[in-house]
Amino acid sequence: MKLAQAGEALSGRYPGSSLTRWANSGLSPDQASEVAWQARFELKTDATSRSTAWLHLKAQAELKLECQRCLQPMSWPQQVDCTYRFVPTEALALEQDNEAEEDVLSLEQPLDLLELVEDELIMDLPMVPMHEKCPVSVKTGTQTPDFTEKAHPFATLAGLKGQKTD
């Protein structure tokens, strides 16, 4: 709350390897790029003249992932831009988080900016990393010379469906 009252702005850089959960999501944890982040705290007053602490967090990084289509390495640039509102208790944070546009955090626990940055970078990772256009040609099963088209198992039934039996 003190940081918000003072309107503090913090920034820093972490070696990618210091965010082990995020770095281990890539091909090689030691190749994770440096993570740059900025955090700006502020105090906002609502319609009832009650002050609430807010945090605006930005982070930039790049991680080497494996394309799931061509299985080649690829760079995945990340740009995280999040806003958080602080509430007094964890119960209140859980209650309000589903309806709020911003993320809601509790003031009960001390804030770990490194962990928060890492969490946001992990959530920003693609579920299935793929190049927009793979640098190598990708062969599918239908492109191999020994591939033969199998007859659909119900094709015969479809032909019989229109016939009448006596």
Nearest 5°: phi and psi at 70?
-105, -10
- Contacts of residue 89, defined as CB under 8 A and 6 or more positions apart, other chains included, come to 106, 107, 108
**Selection from 54, 19, 17 nearest residue 39 by Cα:** 54
What tens-digit pLDDT sequence spans the chain (166 residues)? 677 877 889 999 999 888 999 999 888 887 788 999 999 999 998 777 788 999 999 999 999 999 999 999 999 999 999 999 999 999 999 999 888 889 999 999 899 999 999 999 999 999 999 999 998 887 765 555 665 667 777 777 777 776 766 5
Q: How many residues does the chain have?
A: 166
pTM above 0.85, yes or no: no
Q: Could you give the CA distance from residue 13 to residue 35 in angstroms, rounded to a whole number?
A: 5
Q: Could you give the CA distance from residue 32 to residue 101 in angstroms, rounded to a whole number?
A: 31
**Selection from 115, 82, 114 nearest residue 101 by Cα:** 82
Measured over the CA atoms of residue 27, residue 78, residue 101 and residue 51, the dihedral's sign is positive
